[in-house]
């Protein structure tokens, strides 16, 4: 998606060869018009697939996921990050460990909002090692629902997340695929 790639080139800040800050338009300050275009792009790519719900992981994925849900006229479910596991029949939970942040959390979804009939599209801001997406997939499968695909704004293609997910047969659609980055230079893969 050219609009997103141009914006990353203009406003993204390369902190190191594997850390990119997009906090002026994606994470901390959000550009709603860009998010609307992102939502429309995901809706177009994933149309006609029988999708019933959009899912995202709180909280940076919420803006693009909400706009995708709006464009597809589908409910959005927000997978919550809880600090610890809770014994509760009405909750699905799975532990996710973030190696980059050296933290772990229990990804949590109420059983009220998902069923085996659901075909879920996962939307998130970044795909790097694929830990969060893999956790979301595990959680959706615990509910015996199916995963329709994964849409991300920015994929760091030099990290293993993309390969990990596509090798399992998932359709991963990234709007900006970064092949390499260094200070003042970001190279996208077409």
Stretch that binds its own copies, among 33-41, 43-51, 132-140, 152-160 (CB under 8 A): 33-41
Q: What is the DSSP string of 53-90?
A: EEEEETTTTHHHHHHHHHHHT--EEEEEEESS----TT
Among 24, 52, 104, 134, contact with its own copies (rule: CB under 8 A): 24
Q: How far apart are CA 166 and CA 110, in angstroms?
A: 27
To the nearest 10°, the Cα dihedral for 45, 48, 51, 53? 60
Could you tell me if 189 and 83 are in contact, meaning their C-beta atoms sit under 8 angstroms apart?
no
Q: State which residue, 34 or 133, has the beta carbon closest to its own copies.
A: 34
Binding to its own copies by residue 80, rule CB under 8 A?
Answer: yes
Q: State which residue, 10 or 190, has the beta carbon closest to its own copies.
A: 10
Structural tokens at position 137: 């997939």
Binding to its own copies by residue 27, rule CB under 8 A?
Answer: yes
Residues lying near its own copies in the complex (CB under 8 A) are found at 23-24, 27-33, 35-36, 58-59, 62-63, 66-67, 69-70, 73-78, 80, 109-110, 112-113
């Amino acid at each position: 998606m050219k609009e997103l790639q141009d914006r990353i080139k203009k406003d993204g800040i390369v902190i190191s060869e594997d850390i990119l800050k997009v906090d002026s338009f994606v994470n901390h300050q959000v550009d709603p018009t860009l998010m609307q275009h992102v939502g429309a792009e995901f809706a177009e790519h994933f149309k006609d697939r029988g999708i019933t719900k959009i899912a995202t992981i709180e909280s940076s994925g919420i803006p693009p996921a909400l706009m995708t849900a709006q464009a597809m006229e589908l409910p959005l479910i927000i997978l919550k990050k809880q600090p610890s596991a809770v014994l509760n029949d009405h909750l699905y939970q799975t532990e996710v460990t973030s190696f980059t942040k050296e933290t772990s959390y229990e990804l949590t979804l109420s059983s009220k909002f998902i069923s085996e009939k659901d075909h879920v599209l996962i939307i998130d801001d970044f795909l790097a090692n694929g830990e969060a997406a893999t956790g979301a997939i595990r959680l959706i499968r615990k509910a015996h629902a199916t995963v329709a695909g994964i849409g991300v704004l920015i994929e760091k293609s030099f990290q293993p997340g993309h390969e990990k997910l596509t090798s399992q047969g998932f359709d991963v659609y990234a709007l900006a695929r970064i092949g390499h980055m260094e200070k003042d230079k970001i190279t996208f893969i077409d």
